[in-house]
């Protein structure tokens, strides 16, 4: 049994049994992959894949189990290299992050800037994605960390560390009827078209607040981009509901910012990573820079918990920053 054979069956499964596409991605030949898979099946005495003619048509039940174990084996071989590098080249490596537009634009820049100054030889990669994409990237080890709000679909193989709470704000033009209001009520918001986030992408369902109050919100435009929300507000398309952290005092002087914390419940931003991820020292440092209560001792204590409910309980007495 060769590691290369294990890599082939994993990648074939990842590419929906398309051997030709797998060969293209791995810069090898289709016949070579097919031959190696066949040799592995013969050695094990079981079929990993079902076939229809010359094409793979499905993964057998035993094949599913073999592929899962193969993933673990390849991940461990990667970890061995990482552990060695931690001692031989402690300040050399990579850090990859998947996050939403708002987090990437407004929460991460100062942290990234400081991190790059301290660790100039660490290769940083940041990818924008919603909650589903973030979880997929973590599972497939495309990225190390996900900075996200919606953790409803996490399993216990993923660690979710609460970083800070954030509230929504209402944004209108200076000419808007709501601009001079000190406190805005939900009854007033339903009178105007609303522009806000796509709840299917980030789990911050603005519309649910109206439903629970027995109201009907007129949401005319959804987007993941807070900047785009503000652009359409300035065009007079409606009232914007955005994350308060997305307010830029310098560039948003032509907008009126109104408190919405009494209308919409706060949300929490988390750093999420696989329980099996080997955390290098610079990764601990990044987490600490992003959220100062998450020192190495606290992170390790969270990892020692068996599930995320225990982790959340662990943080019950910790006062998180509100943005």
Among 54, 48, 52, residue whose Cα is nearest residue 10: 48
Residues of the chain with pLDDT under 70: 199-204
Q: What crossing angle do the helices spanning 30-44 and 3-14 adopt, rounded to 10°?
A: 110
For position 201, what pLDDT does the model report?
Answer: 55
For position 203, what pLDDT does the model report?
Answer: 54
For position 218, what pLDDT does the model report?
Answer: 85
State the distance between the two ends of the chain, measured CA to CA, in whole angstroms: 52
For position 222, what pLDDT does the model report?
Answer: 86
Rounded CA-CA distance 221/195 in Å is 5
**pLDDT tens, residue by residue, 25-59:** 888 999 999 999 999 999 999 999 999 888 899 99
Cα 47–Cα 49–Cα 52 angle in degrees, nearest 5? 115
């Amino acid at each position: 049994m060769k590691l290369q054979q294990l890599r082939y069956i994993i990648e074939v499964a990842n590419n929906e049994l398309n051997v030709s596409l797998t060969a293209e991605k791995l810069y090898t030949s289709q016949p070579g992959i097919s031959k190696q898979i066949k040799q592995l099946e013969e050695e094990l005495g079981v079929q990993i894949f079902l076939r229809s003619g010359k094409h793979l048509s499905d993964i057998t039940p035993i094949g599913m189990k073999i592929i899962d174990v193969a993933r673990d084996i390849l991940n461990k071989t990667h970890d061995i290299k990482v552990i060695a590098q931690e001692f031989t080249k402690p300040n050399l490596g990579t850090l990859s992050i998947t996050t939403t537009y708002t987090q990437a634009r407004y929460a991460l820049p100062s942290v990234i800037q400081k991190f790059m100054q301290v660790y100039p030889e660490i290769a940083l990669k940041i990818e924008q994605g919603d909650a589903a994409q973030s979880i997929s990237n973590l599972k497939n080890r495309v990225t190390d960390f996900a900075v996200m709000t919606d953790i409803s679909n996490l399993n216990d193989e993923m660690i979710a560390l609460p970083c800070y709470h954030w509230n929504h704000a209402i944004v209108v033009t200076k000419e808007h009827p709501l601009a001079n209001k000190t406190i805005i009520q939900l009854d007033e918001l339903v009178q105007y078209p609303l522009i806000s986030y796509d709840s299917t992408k980030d789990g911050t369902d603005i519309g649910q607040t109206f439903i629970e109050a027995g109201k009907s919100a007129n949401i005319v435009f959804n987007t993941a981009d807070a900047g785009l929300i503000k652009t359409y507000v300035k065009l007079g398309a409606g009232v914007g509901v955005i994350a308060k952290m997305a307010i830029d005092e310098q560039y948003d002087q032509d907008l009126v910012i109104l408190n919405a914390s009494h209308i919409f419940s706060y949300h929490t931003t988390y750093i999420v990573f696989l329980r099996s991820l080997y955390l290098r020292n610079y990764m601990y440092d990044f987490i600490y820079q992003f959220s100062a209560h998450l020192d190495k001792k606290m992170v390790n204590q969270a990892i020692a918990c068996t599930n995320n409910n225990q982790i959340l309980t662990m943080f019950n007495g910790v006062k998180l920053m509100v943005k």
